[in-house]
Amino acid sequence: MDFLEEKVISVIKENTNDDCEIKLDHRLEDLGIDSLEKIMIINSLEDEFSIEIEDGEVKALKTVSDIVINLRERLKRASQ
């Protein structure tokens, strides 16, 4: 697991107060994450990485992996 994956999982745990094992293929819904918690998680990640994820994109993020992939693409574009 790389730094970005670990950070996303860490932020999810911080915002849900859940110590269960979180894997990249877990659906946010299956982790009990509602829409408000999802927004809080995304806001935390936006602050952490100084990026902005559009509202329409947030709705499309269904799994932990979706979040990681979105962040990785944004960070890659920002570094170019």
- pLDDT at residue 60, as a whole number: 95
- pLDDT at residue 12, as a whole number: 95
* Token code pair at residue 63: 């799994």
Are 32 and 49 in contact by the 8 Å Cβ rule? The answer is: no
Select which of 34, 47, 55, 66 is catalytic.
34
CATH code 1.10.10.10 for 3-78: no
In the residue annotation, 34 being an active-site residue is answered as yes
* Token code pair at residue 76: 């890659």
Span 28-49, pLDDT tens digits: 999 999 999 999 999 999 999 9
pLDDT beneath 70, residues of the chain: none
Q: Which among 75, 39, 40, 80 has a CA at the least distance from the CA of 57?
A: 39
Residues 77, 64: Cα–Cα separation, whole Å: 20
- pLDDT at residue 16, as a whole number: 85
- Beta-bridge partner residues of 63: 27
- pLDDT at residue 11, as a whole number: 95
